[in-house]
Amino acid sequence: MKSVLFLCVANSARSQMAEGLARDAFGDKAHIFSAGSAPADVNPYAVQVMDEIGIDISGQYSKSVDDIDISRMDFIITLCADEICPVIPKHVQHLHWPLPDPANDKPDTPEVQILSDFRLARDDISAKITNFMQKTLPSKQSRH
């Protein structure tokens, strides 16, 4: 069984959504993890937009990349855009999906815009996971 780690800085939004989407897509066909180089609390907007599509990530929590044995991963997928992503061991297959962080720290941003940014990130990640799944790992649904 393959192991996949989604990695970004805070492990609060993009990588948390990716973990939930990948767990839903792969079921028990892969071990799915997420972590960050500077973990923070899971963003409530990430929980909300995932709930909109029927995926509950409210029980997930932010983890430090230091707490995960990344040498045992088959794939590490970094989601950092403008931030500096953690260093990846050379023997691990590494994919980079640069996505802007929807967690906006500008206090004057309207909630409707924040939710829109989170939905866009969720949908981008979902499309990338679908493509990755079709090319790399078996899905939980048979294609026969």
Each residue's pLDDT tens digit, 2-34: 999 999 888 999 999 999 999 999 999 899 999
Catalytic positions, written as ranges: 8, 80, 85
3-state helix, strand, coil in the chain (%, to 5): 40, 15, 45
pTM: 0.90
Each residue's pLDDT tens digit, 38-84: 899 999 999 999 999 999 999 999 999 999 998 889 999 999 876 66
Each residue's pLDDT tens digit, 67-76: 999 888 999 9
Q: Is 58 helix (H, G, I), strand (E, B) or coil?
A: coil
SS3 assignment for 29-44 = HEEEEEEECCCCCCCH
What's residue 142's pLDDT? 42
